[in-house]
């Protein structure tokens, strides 16, 4: 004897939430505070610290880049003066032929 049994498939669903930036969306932000009182202030403090850290690092990078650029200009100036000095010395000495 065969039974006609209808099988019900198992349905599963999941949901994930992603956001970009240090702060969650405002709807989620309130949920953090309800779940753990004081969490909103801690999240804001963390975001502020991260922003300050990022600004300091960017400032250091800019300062380092400016120093490197300045050093490069100084070395280029010294090289140009030395080259001009050698050329002038050669002309004054009478050795103005080119060696290739």
40 close to 32: Cβ distance less than 8 angstroms:
yes
Quick check: pTM over 0.75?
no
Helix (H) or strand (E) holding 72: helix 39-93
Average pLDDT of every residue of the chain: 84
Identify the CA nearest to 46 among candidates 24, 68, 31. 24
CA atoms within 13 A on the CB side of 4: 0
**Separation between Cα atoms, residue 11 and residue 89, nearest integer Å:** 90
pLDDT tens, 7-64? 777 888 888 877 777 788 877 878 888 888 988 899 889 989 999 999 999 999 999 9
pLDDT at 100: 47
98: left (phi over 0), alpha (psi -120 to 50) or beta: beta
pLDDT tens, 67-95? 999 999 999 999 999 999 988 888 888 76
């Amino acid at each position: 004897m065969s039974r006609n049994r209808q099988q019900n498939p198992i349905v599963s669903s999941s949901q994930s939430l992603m956001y970009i930036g240090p702060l969650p969306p405002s709807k989620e932000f309130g949920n953090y505070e309800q779940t753990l009182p004081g969490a909103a202030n801690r999240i804001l403090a963390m975001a502020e610290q991260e922003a300050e850290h990022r600004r300091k690092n960017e400032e250091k990078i800019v300062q380092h880049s400016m120093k490197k650029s300045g050093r490069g200009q100084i070395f280029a100036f010294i090289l140009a003066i030395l080259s001009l000095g050698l050329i002038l010395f050669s002309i004054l000495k009478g050795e103005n032929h080119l060696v290739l």
